Every structure is written in structure tokens, then in C-alpha cells.
Amino acid sequence: MVTNTEIKELGHFINGEIVAGTSGRFSDVFNPSTGAVIAHVPIATKEEVQGAIATAQAAFPAWRALSVSKRIDIVMKFRQLLTARMDELIDVICTESGKTVEDARGEITRGLESVDLAINAPHLLKGEYSVNVGGNINAYSAKAPLGVVAAISPFNFPVMVPLAITSMAVAVGNSVILKPSERVPCSALFFSELWKEAGLPDGVWTVINGDKDAVNELLENPTIEAISFVGSTPVAEYIYKTGSQYGKRVTALGGGKNNMIVMPDADLEQAANAFLGAAFGAASQRCMAISTIMPVGEETANKLVKILAEKIAKLKVGPYTDADVDFGPVITKQSKDAIIGFIDRSLNEGATLVCDGRNPDITGNPDGFYLGPTLLDNVKPGMEIYEQEVFGPARNVVRVDSLEEAIDLINAHEFGNGVTIFTNNGAAARKFTTDINVGMVGVNVPIPIPVGYHNFAGWKRSRFGEGHMFGPDQVRFFTKTKIISEKWFEENSESASTFAFPSNED
């Protein structure tokens, strides 16, 4: 367990054990609530990554050969351990990310949905079989693991995202290398030990800590068959283009600029309450956070902004050790400064400040990376804070005259991650869900994140590649399909050569 007073020297998880880094390069891991350094994480060299890949490759044949039922026994044991030690993991998450206890618990619970889906791998791996497709030939398909696959995860979900992009990969028989964010390495190392305790063979699961050099080796190394990534759009695009250039299967999920449309017939109290959690939960450091609320009509906007201002004023920001706080700090001082810059520039561009969270009073934690909730009204398309993803608690009100105008604005934006509408009008909801060009859509649902057994991914520049993070598509992404056609001749049967293209007419 990481505490606020100790500074831990971390390592990598290779071949079933924690190993020290050899590069001599380290990155500081902070407790965002206090601003204090809590750990030093090694930054891997290219050679260290190559060694980790070789270890994973050596472990793959035996893991692939193990029956799927025995693999699932290990996944189930891992789930049991994760559940039993949830409180310990919550403390790790909160300490290195600044999340509240409630938010960390919710993240783990969501991550367990991906583990639960992986437990169903025996069913999901089943192929197809056709009898006598022609000429006494039977045809069937079989799914096989790819080999060594890699996952690169972000800081904002140190448990949920790694579990979402690796659990199925392990269950279907791959060796997996995880490169977590160097800002939150403790969580990944914690549940690596759980994989070991669950009985996962050494080398099947690897955690390598590093920066762009480590990522580039994963992208370029010919042993790596597939890459899963979640992060910002510029990096997602780089991961996709580079990995594809080297012949890898790539799913790279990027940023979002998620909108909530509020129709005049909506219950404004309900819509406002939904917006608060969806907009400011986890200090707005979620790719599915609502960043822009679009009230339809001037009267709706005036009423809604007044309600939001009153509710936002009551929100409390502080350390996770305070059970009464609504959300905690942002991840780094650099992030805090960048968010303040977005707010300042938006005011210069003509936005109106409704609630100002740039200088919160955090008693007892003056060095933490805190920002209070900020709400900006009269934000227009073209403003920087409208166009770009702001990974922090600075949210926008964009006033529109009609549902059609809101749909057009959202469809014109480069991101297409998530969107929702609050209305009691079925026709409006139907038009919205039909016409909107966004990957995940909600109706009176504040954050339209699907459960773990549905696919998760945005559209447009929120996703590169064709895979998904959650859901059954994970099986397709982490396996390759072999099609077998077979015919058995009866003893002493006659046959003749044929030069026509094979058909099923016989």
C-alpha cells in the first residue's frame, strides 16, 4: 500500500516478478491531493522492452495450449482476489490519481465487468460448423490467439481501462504486455501480483513502465501482433498510423467533446443534477465526461444556467480522505495550469464566467493540484474551449435555438465519442438518436457508457481502427480465425481431376 509519507522505488513486472529498472532514468509519481512525490517509477530502455517481449513470447505456446477451461479458472481466481482486496486497491488508486473513494470503487466495479465477460470466453470462442457444403465436404472455423499483444493505458482509469483492454486478451490465450501511464503505475503493479497469485504462468502477463521510447518499441517490434490504446486523439492517431505501418492490428481510442442537449420539455432539475456528476466527476478527467451542455431555446438556457449556478456553488472539492468531497484534484500541476489557461483564454474570446473554480480554498492541502468547478456561458463554436478537449473541471454552456442546430453542431465537430439528450418527447429522442453522428448515445442518461458486455468506442477522430474497448468485439480483435474444409474418401472410391472452379453444386 502506498502512503503519503513513504517514497517507493517501483519496478517492472516481468516473468512473474517485480524487477528493478536498469536505465537509470526515473519519473516521479505524485499524490495529486498533496502534491508530494510518493514513488519513483523506472523508465524502460529499448533493450528492456525487447527482453520483456522475448519473455512474453516464450510463455505464449504453453498458455495457448492450455485448455480454455483451465485458463478461465485462473481468470476467475483473479476476479476473486480483486474483489477480496478491493479496499487495498481503492487506496492505491486514490493515492496516485486523486480520485474519491466512491469513484475508485465504481472504476473497479466497471473493470470487473470486463473480467466477467472474459470468463465467458469458452462460449465466445466457439466457431461454426457446416455439414456437407458440397461434395461431402464439411467446413468449420476455429479461433486462435494472436501471440504477444500490447496494451497502453491512460492515467485517468488506472484499473478499469487496463482490465478492459487486457482481460479478454489473456482469456483467449495471448501473452499480454501492459504499458500503464507513468503517472499511475502503482495500480497496475498491484493487480499484476494478483495475476501471479491467481496462478497465471510467468511471462503471460507483463507490465513495462516507460515513455515514448517504450511505446515505439512496442509499435515497431515484429513480435507484437496487436496494440490496444486509450488516450488523447493526437497520440491515438500516432499509435494507429505507426502500428499499422508495422503491420499490427490496432485499436486506438482518442479524446471526446461530449455534449448534453436539454430540450424545453425536460425536467431541468433532473437534467442539472445529471450534468453535475457527468461533467465534474473525477475532476472531469474522463473521456466520456460531459463538457458542453446545450439548452434549446433562450428561456430553457436562462432557467438552466441559474439552476446550475446554484448547484455548482455547493459542490466540494478536496482530498479523498474527506468523505464529503464531490471530486478531487487533477492529476498534475501542469494539467492544472493548462486548464486555467483554457479558462482565461475563453474569457478573452467572449465567454461569460458563471462559476469560477480557478482558486479553490483547500484547507490543509495548499500544494495539491486542485481546481473547483468552473462553468462558462455563451461559449461559441470556434472558441478554443469549445473545439478542444479540456481534461479538467471547466465546462461550457452553448445556447442553441433548435434541436436541429444542436445536432448540426455536434455532427460538425471532429470528435464523436459520446452524446446525450434530456427530453420527455419520444419524437425528439428518435430524431436525435437517428441523426447524430456519434458512437455512444444516451437518452436521459448522463454518461452513455455501455456495460462491459457491449462494445465501447466513439466515431470520427475519437477512434482509430475498427476494434472496441469493451464487449464481444474483443474476442475478434484478439484472435485470428482459421477456416477448415475437410473431405474423407471412402475406401476404394474413385475420383477424377477437375479443372473447374470449386462450387457447392455437387
Give the model's pLDDT for residue 504: 62
How many percent of the chain have pLDDT more than 90? 84
338-356: average pLDDT: 97
- Maximum C-alpha span of the chain: 92
353-372: average pLDDT: 91
Give the model's pLDDT for residue 41: 98
C-alpha cell belonging to residue 384: 478554443
Q: Is the pLDDT of residue 472 over 90?
A: no
Cβ neighbours around 201 below 10 Å, total: 18
Q: What tens digit of pLDDT does each residue of 271-292 get?
A: 999 999 999 999 999 988 999 9
For residue 387, report the phi and psi dihedrals to the nearest 5 degrees. -80, -35
Q: Given pLDDT bands bounded at 50, 70 and 90, which one contains residue 440?
A: confident
Q: What is the 3-state secondary structure (H, E, C) of 133-145?
A: EECCEEEEEEEEE
C-alpha cell belonging to residue 426: 419520444
206-214: average pLDDT: 97
8-254+462-483 falls under which CATH superfamily? Aldehyde Dehydrogenase; Chain A, domain 1 (3.40.605.10)
Q: Is the pLDDT of residue 172 over 70?
A: yes
Query: Which residues face 329 on adjacent strands?
Result: none
Give the model's pLDDT for residue 506: 58
Give the model's pLDDT for residue 5: 62
Give the model's pLDDT for residue 288: 86
Cβ neighbours around 360 below 10 Å, total: 17
Q: Given pLDDT bands bounded at 50, 70 and 90, which one contains residue 458?
A: confident
Where do the DSSP E strands lie in 58-159? 129-134, 137-145, 148-152
Give the model's pLDDT for residue 456: 75
Long-range Cβ pairs for the range 266-273 (8 Å, 24+): 266/300, 266/422, 266/423, 266/424, 267/422, 267/424, 268/300, 268/303, 268/304, 268/307, 269/307, 270/422, 270/444, 271/304, 271/422, 272/304, 272/307, 272/308, 272/311, 273/311
Helix (H, G, I), strand (E, B) or coil at 268: helix
Q: Decide which of 496 and 246 is more confident.
A: 246
Separation of alpha carbons 239 and 245, rounded Å: 10
Helix (H, G, I), strand (E, B) or coil at 504: coil
253-257: average pLDDT: 90
C-alpha cell belonging to residue 482: 482459421
Q: Is the pLDDT of residue 142 over 80?
A: yes
Q: What tens digit of pLDDT does each residue of 39-63 get?
A: 999 999 999 999 999 999 999 999 9
Please, what is the average pLDDT of the chain?
Answer: 93
For residue 399, report the phi and psi dihedrals to the nearest 5 degrees. -85, 135
Q: How many helices (H) and strands (E) does the chain have?
A: 16, 23
Q: Is the pTM of this model over 0.95?
A: no
Q: What tens digit of pLDDT does each residue of 175-196 get?
A: 999 999 999 999 999 999 999 9
Q: What tens digit of pLDDT does each residue of 71-93 get?
A: 999 999 999 999 999 999 999 99
- Provide, for the chain, the percentages of residues in helix, strand and coil under a 3-state DSSP scheme, each rounded to the nearest 5: 40, 20, 40
Give the model's pLDDT for residue 505: 61
Separation of alpha carbons 302 and 120, rounded Å: 49
* Cell 466520456, residue located: 288
Domain spans of the chain? 8-254+462-483, 258-443
> Are 8-254+462-483 and 258-443 the same fold in CATH?
no
Separation of alpha carbons 321 and 33, rounded Å: 9
238-248: average pLDDT: 96
> Contact at 8 Å (CB) between 12 and 214?
no
Give the model's pLDDT for residue 448: 80
Q: Please provide the size of the chain in residues.
A: 506
| 256 Cβ neighbours under 8 A, 6+ residues apart | 287, 288, 289, 291, 389, 415, 416, 417, 418, 458, 462
Q: Is the pLDDT of residue 2 over 70?
A: no
Cβ neighbours around 502 below 10 Å, total: 11
Assigned CATH for 258-443? 3.40.309.10
Give the model's pLDDT for residue 452: 74
365-391: average pLDDT: 94
Rounded to whole angstroms, what are the CA distances from 478 to 308, 347, 468, 497?
A: 44, 47, 11, 40
The set of catalytic residues is: 287
Q: Is the pLDDT of residue 3 over 60?
A: no
Give the model's pLDDT for residue 1: 37
Let me know the angle formed at the C-alpha of 222 by 220 and 228, rounded to the nearest 5 degrees. 65
Choose among 291, 465, 307: nearest CA to 393: 291
How is 446-497 classified by DSSP, letter by letter?
Answer: SS-PPPTTS----EETTEESS--SSSTHHHHHTEEEEEEEEE-PPTT-----
